[in-house]
């Protein structure tokens, strides 16, 4: 949890609401979570809902009319505007004018996914408001989120348990939140959270977890990779849900193998289990550059087939693993 989010949480705790917020980053869970936190504090007990404004679905002029209209009955309104860079024409100037003089009784949350954008509208917004960083967090920030969710559910968790949960589900805030919610349901009032309970019930699924799959894949253990991969599919994973992390995994292996001065490696968040990230340099030694490029091509083929026809996840998983590791078995 970064400083800008910590500051926001402290303000909301004291019901100090700003008329305009700028959230900047691509983490969808954090977009929803923080927007809801702002709404809960803004509306308090009134049970009103925020109004989502999407430029792809509404005219720019309509969006400006909505946020700048004054309610004759003095009702409070909260708006969530996504992709402000898609506001066009004179409406863009009007949006910035509203930001300079917002309706104090209302609240506007602007979500800009483009972080270091050269777009004029993003530059103008960041001049006016200090952005709240909602990029997917790195290890230390993720552990703060784990502690935050445990505290929200009134669960006492020692550092060892925090580390265990981070290893199991620390590849996204969404997964961490889901696992802690599941654990909160399992615990009876006053029951202490034991590491055994976390190991037994937390994770991607009860049978196998993604970090086990990436460990088998990184070590080129075909039999184990097939067993765990098929288990994940049976547990309602899909090849589409695995394409993004698998592609990132092999791209990172490729970056790791490049000599100094080559293509840069990781410079941001990766959709991978922490243990996979830690062991990338070890896994890279087990693969040739040709094998890594083959893996990326196989995944691209699977993605294309998935978009153009109905495919069997079982078959696609088997084709991928045997196509890549069949000669290594």
The one-digit pLDDT tens for each residue of the chain (329 residues) are 889 999 999 999 998 999 999 999 888 889 999 999 999 999 987 767 789 999 988 999 999 999 998 776 667 899 999 999 999 999 999 999 999 999 998 999 999 987 666 788 999 999 999 999 998 888 889 999 999 999 998 898 899 999 989 888 887 888 888 888 888 877 877 778 888 888 776 654 444 578 889 999 999 999 889 888 888 887 767 888 888 899 999 999 998 887 653 444 454 567 888 888 889 999 999 999 999 999 999 999 998 887 777 778 888 898 899 999 987 65
Residues with Cβ within 8 Å of 66's Cβ and at least 6 positions away in sequence, in order, are 51, 53, 79
pLDDT at 328: 66
All structural domains of the chain: 3-133 (3.40.50.300), 139-201 (1.10.8), 210-325 (1.20.272.10)
pLDDT at 72: 66
Residues with Cβ within 8 Å of 322's Cβ and at least 6 positions away in sequence, in order, are 222, 226
CB neighbour class for 46 (10 Å; exposed up to 12, middle 13-18, buried from 19):
exposed
Neighbours of 226 (CB within 10 A): 17
pLDDT at 205: 46
Helix (H) or strand (E) holding 21: strand 20-24
Q: Residues 235, 209: contact at Cβ < 8 Å?
A: no
Cα separation, 101 vs 203, in Å, equals 47
Residues with Cβ within 8 Å of 33's Cβ and at least 6 positions away in sequence, in order, are 173, 177
Could you give phi then psi for residue 169, rounded to 5 degrees?
A: -135, 20
Sign of CA dihedral 308, 314, 315, 316: positive
Residue found under tokens 């800009």 = 112
Cα separation, 297 vs 40, in Å, equals 46
């Amino acid at each position: 949890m970064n400083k800008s989010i910590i500051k926001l949480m402290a303000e909301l705790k004291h019901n100090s609401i700003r008329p305009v917020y700028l959230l900047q980053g691509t983490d969808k869970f954090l977009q929803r979570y923080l927007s809801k936190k702002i709404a809960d504090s803004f509306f308090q007990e009134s049970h009103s809902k925020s109004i989502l404004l999407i430029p792809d679905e509404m005219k720019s002029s309509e969006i400006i009319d909505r946020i700048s209209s004054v309610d004759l009955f003095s009702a409070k309104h909260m708006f969530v505007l996504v992709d402000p860079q898609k506001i066009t024409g004179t409406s863009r100037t009007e949006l910035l004018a509203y930001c300079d003089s917002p309706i104090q009784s209302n609240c506007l949350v602007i979500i800009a996914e483009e972080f270091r954008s050269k777009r004029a509208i993003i530059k103008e917004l960041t001049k006016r408001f200090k952005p709240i960083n909602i990029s997917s967090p790195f290890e230390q920030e993720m552990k703060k989120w784990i502690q935050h969710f445990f505290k929200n559910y009134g669960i006492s968790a020692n550092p060892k348990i925090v580390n265990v949960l981070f290893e199991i589900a620390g590849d996204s805030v969404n997964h961490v939140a889901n696992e802690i919610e599941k654990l909160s349901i399992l615990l009876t009032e006053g029951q202490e959270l034991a590491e055994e309970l976390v190991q037994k019930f937390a994770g991607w699924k009860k049978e196998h977890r993604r970090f086990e799959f990436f460990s088998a894949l990184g070590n080129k253990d075909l039999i184990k990779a097939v067993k765990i991969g098929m288990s994940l599919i049976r547990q309602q994973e899909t090849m589409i849900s695995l394409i993004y992390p698998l592609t990132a995994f092999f791209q990172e292996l490729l970056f790791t193998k490049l000599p100094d001065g080559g293509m840069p490696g990781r410079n941001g968040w990766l959709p991978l289990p922490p243990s996979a990230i830690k062991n990338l340099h070890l896994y890279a030694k087990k693969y040739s550059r040709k094998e890594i490029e083959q893996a990326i091509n196989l995944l691209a083929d699977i993605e294309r087939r998935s978009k153009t026809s109905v495919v069997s996840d079982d078959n696609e998983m088997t084709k991928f693993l045997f196509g890549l590791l069949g000669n290594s078995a």
